[in-house]
Amino acid sequence: MTSHEIDYTIYGDDLQAVEVELDPQETVIAEAGAMNWMEQDIAFEAKMGDGSTPNQGFFGGLLNVGKRVLTGESLFMTHFTNVGVSKRRVAFSSPYPGKIMPVDLKRRGGTLLCQKDAFLCAAKGTSVSIAFNKRFGAGFFGGEGFILQKLQGDGLAFLHAGGTVVERHLNNETLRVDTGCIVGFTPGIDYNIEASGGLKSMFFGGEGLFLATLRGTGTVYLQTLPFSRLADRVIRHAPALQGRSKGEGSVLGSLGRMVDGDNF
């Protein structure tokens, strides 16, 4: 397996974009809708699959892309290719605030397991498939951890995460994490779900009933603000759902919303 060798530049701090530089005939694959801008001579095409195994046949390709439905992603991936004679660039960004994380798969043993919505883009030659967590607890109580994306290759892949990304290296150690805070981990890490504590802590501690337990030797990537946590807080304070705006309960506030057309 040989991936295309690509260069990149990451722009921004908390609302980042990654600009990938492609030599002539180089290709980067990305999730549908992730592209921000691209220079001339960049041709793009939606294809069923990542293009890592071109000789697998129609039915083999259909089976592989069908697995992507289980992760909630599109059947298609977009392939961006430099068809010119000079270096050209194409940029991608994540759909919510956070960080873009470049991962050299060759330095990570050729494989990385990540949450099903973490993949952003990668050099062509990278295999993007799924992996089932066989643990009973992870399947029923692990939330996003039951179906994981598996990235395999020897090139660069880019993940996106909410908030700030923290990279932890475990050496035959154990780390307990909120299930939504895991971005990805290397195959040397064993993933399971365990109760968060006693009954009082489980129901009134605010940390949920279960925590993810990561054991072994390898690298773990964590995010400080999972999108599910951000969305929950936004919905909790959404004026459309509560029928009011926080801090705007006065008569003048109501009149202002009528002028703006919010009440119609």
pLDDT tens for residues 31-66? 888 999 999 999 999 887 777 665 554 545 555 555
92 and 42 in contact (C-beta within 8 Å)? Answer: no
pLDDT value of position 255 = 45
Flag whether pLDDT at 73 surpasses 70: no
pLDDT value of position 214 = 92
Tell me which residue has tokens 């949450």: 115
Contacts of 248 (CB under 8 A, 6+ apart): 254, 256, 257
d(CA 2, CA 225): 34
Mean pLDDT of 168-184: 91
Quote the mean pLDDT of the chain. 78
Q: Where are the domains of the chain?
A: 7-233
Tell me which residue has tokens 């697995």: 67
Flag whether pLDDT at 19 surpasses 90: yes
pLDDT tens for residues 182-240? 999 998 898 887 766 555 554 554 555 678 889 999 999 999 988 878 777 778 777 65
Instruction: Tell me which residue of 24, 6, 22, 5 sits closest to 85, measured CA to CA.
Output: 24
Q: Of the given ranges (1-10, 86-95, 133-142), which has the lowest mean pLDDT?
A: 133-142
d(CA 191, CA 171): 15
- The matching CATH number, chosen from 3.60.160.10, 3.40.50.10140, 1.10.600.10, 3.30.420.40, for 7-233 is 3.60.160.10
Measure Cα distances from 134 to 66, 214, 216 in Å: 20, 15, 17
